[in-house]
Amino acid sequence: MERSKKPSAIGVAASLPQPTITFRENKIEATLPTGESVTVHLYGATVTSWKLANGREQLFMSEKAHLDGSKPIRGGIPVVFPVFGPPPPNHATSSLPQHGFARNSNWEFLGKSSSESLGKKDCDDSVKLDFGLSHTMLSEEFRKAWPYEFGLLYSVTLSKEGLETSLQVQNKGNQNFDFQVLMHTYLSIDDISQIRVKNLESKTYIDKTQNATSHTENSPALEINKETDRVYKALDPKVPIIVASAADDKPIFSVTREGLNDVVVWNPWIEKAKGMADFAPDDAYKKMICIEAGSVAGWQTLEAGESWEGSQSIRPRL
Ligand code: BG6
């Protein structure tokens, strides 16, 4: 039978619950319909919180972190660019502060896309937030210190499975520049004595606590029981760095990378933690481990007009 007023078909996508995005006080919060959430401060495009559906926070944040844009944020995922650590003398980055300017500049929120608009038809279980920083947005001081024309596009993708952060570096000028880059991820853990860091065995590392001397990792499951500040070099990015439980060897976090072949493992331990004015409480070093995916052992040279991309994907224990 023909009906004169057929109801129009409702697309499946239209009925899907959508991620919620709020933008206030210079931070963006995104929550998936399934309950996972992420918060990103425009200052440094620093991811300051990542919660699972059960409300459990996955990133460590110091109680004395400055969230007002007066200092780089102590916790979450600060972005390190264009230099890692104290800049070397007689280098294009020499006048920049430690870890460069990306973590202490105000980024722009460029917008979001959901899994539906990303082309995944049958579900809407992820959201991607894009942030940008370019030379025109830098303070005069930073522009003078590093006078290159660049663009950074940083994407933070939250899904039920995990969190991905991806950085594209563009050279918009007409001269080459060198850069280093790192995602300085502070993972939240219950007890530093109860974790082991795996998949570093036989890899070469620079030990920054021992005058930057070179060593080979001999442990299949690294225990952190003192100040640790190591740059593991030339890793296979597809092999995840696993933070595992010492008790049952189960992964608590796994970190895979693309284009980021070095990984820094950092824990300040007792004295360094006390010495950092923005690190609190003093014994919070027991509650964090930094697994920092980067390209920091040498320099990436980016030719005029070219771009480069690197990313990390963090899976939590679900
Ligand atoms: C790590 C470095 O990436 O960051 C450490 O390897 C450094 O040497 C740490 O101490 C924290 O740096 P900052 O500048 O945030 O205090």
Tens digit of pLDDT for each residue in 195-239?
A: 999 999 999 999 999 999 999 999 999 999 999 999 999 999 999
List Cα–Cα distances, 84 to 89, 127, 262, 272, 276, in angstroms: 13, 29, 12, 19, 18
Q: Does residue 122 carry a pLDDT above 60? A: no
pLDDT of residue 114: 77
List Cα–Cα distances, 66 to 38, 60, 62, 278, in angstroms: 18, 14, 9, 7
Q: Is 99 in the pocket of ligand 1 (CB under 6 A)?
A: yes
**Is 292 known to be catalytic?**
yes
pLDDT of residue 285: 98
pLDDT of residue 256: 98
How many angstroms does the Cα of residue 244 sit away from the middle of ligand 1? 23
pLDDT of residue 5: 46
pLDDT of residue 4: 46
pLDDT in tens, 15-66: 678 999 999 989 999 999 999 999 999 999 999 999 999 999 999 999 999 9
Q: Does residue 2 carry a pLDDT above 80? A: no
List Cα–Cα distances, 120 to 17, 73, 90, 126, 129, in angstroms: 14, 34, 49, 10, 16
What's the burial of 150, exposed, middle or buried (CB within 10 Å: 0-12/13-18/19+)?
Answer: buried
Q: Does residue 11 carry a pLDDT above 90? A: no
Q: Does residue 3 carry a pLDDT above 60? A: no
Mean pLDDT throughout 260-272? Answer: 98
Q: Does residue 310 carry a pLDDT above 60? A: yes
Q: Does residue 318 carry a pLDDT above 80? A: no
List binding-site positions: 74, 98, 103
Q: Is 262 in the pocket of ligand 1 (CB under 6 A)?
A: no
Domains in the chain with CATH codes: 20-188+258-316 (2.70.98.10)
List binding-site positions for substrate: 74, 98, 103
Buried b (16+ CB within 10 A) or exposed e, 173-212: eeeebebbbbbbbbbbbeebeebbbbbbeebebbebeeee
